[in-house]
Amino acid sequence: MNTKTDFAKYLSKYLSSYLPYERNVSPNTIAAYRDSFVLFINYMKSVKHIKVEKLTLDAINKENVISFLNWLIDQKGCNISTRNYRLAAIHSFISYLQYEKVEKLNEWQSILSIKAMKKESNAPNYLTVDGIKLLLAQPDIEDYCGLRHLAILALMYDTGCRVQELIDLTVDSLRIQTEPYTIRIYGKGRKTRIVPVVRNQIVILRKYMDRYRLNGNNFHSYPLFFNKSGKKLTRTGVAYILKKYADMARQITPSLIPEKISCHSLRHSKAMHLLQAGVNLIWIRDLLGHTTIQTTEVYAKADSLQKREALERAYMDMLPDKNKDPEWQKNQTLLEWLKGLQKE
């Protein structure tokens, strides 16, 4: 990046020094923040006609930031979540500038006052237990790639990990020599969690590792899942694998496989299935690596089946039995008096 302008100078320092060394932010987050500023620079060039070589901190103001956020939605077709994420990246940079360029503090606080947009909370998109079984039955484990694909999809579902967490796994992440079998997952914010792995999953993983010769000591730091070049898979690559087998499963039983399915759908599916099996929300939170229980509660709110069954268990019959005679019919004196009215 050209560092002749003050914007380039501070942005370079923010991305290359402040985030990784002072804040200990993960490389994935830094890459996402970098992409946000690439979009902002492109916006300033194409809409405001300010080239990156002439882009200064004076152009970083509330009006331009709001216009950029609106452009993301109106012109780029981004959703509210993406818009809010780009705003979070800008807020992070502006918070950094508050201490580096104190003389513009009023402008920085003005930008920090921009609020995230509220979005409708959609129910998690997940597959039923039968849907997961159908999906995992599609890869041919006799095929060289088929076994690898089954190991990827099954592990992503079984551990409830995010797709980036799956990509970042190394051979050394596994503890499958003896029971209890576990896997070490590096989550958001460099947080590590230990997730148990069931025996059936271990069988698949061991077959995969034997076939791809990943059992040697010199492979400990090697990506657990890699492409033809020996590099770890990309998010797009994993999404392609999922789509391939989802399309195959949909041809067999369309009702079990949603039209829209993503890698996150497997994570949602695992959480919902655990909840429906009666697993405590606290344990589900720990498995998924959520920071707060409020994030995990979305699955409890979305589980209409569990709600219905709970209501049925708690139901008390308050309605009258229509097959029973009304109380007034049991009162013979009243009944005779009413019949007498008819004679008159």
Q: State the CB neighbour count (10 A cutoff) for residue 49.
A: 8
Question: How many residues does this entry show for the chain?
Answer: 344
162 is catalytic: yes
User: Alpha-carbon distance 98 to 95, whole Å?
Assistant: 5
Residue tagged active-site, from 148, 250, 267, 270: 267
| Contacts for 259 with CB less than 8 Å, ≥ 6 apart | 250
Residue tagged active-site, from 83, 104, 149, 162: 162
Residue tagged active-site, from 23, 62, 188, 207: 188
Spatial strand order of the sheet with 182-186 comes to 174-175, 182-186, 192-196
User: Alpha-carbon distance 134 to 56, whole Å?
Assistant: 55
91 is catalytic: no
User: Alpha-carbon distance 36 to 30, whole Å?
Assistant: 10
Residue tagged active-site, from 86, 250, 270, 290: 290
267 is catalytic: yes
290 is catalytic: yes
Q: Are 212 and 171 in contact (CB under 8 A)?
A: no
188 is catalytic: yes
CA angle (280 as vertex; 274, 286 as ends), nearest 5: 85
Q: Measured in whole angstroms, how far is the alpha carbon of residue 140 from the centre of its chain?
A: 28
User: Alpha-carbon distance 146 to 140, whole Å?
Assistant: 5
Three-state DSSP at 16 gives: helix
Q: Are 289 and 295 in contact (CB under 8 A)?
A: no
Looking at the annotation, which residues are catalytic? 162, 188, 264, 267, 290, 299
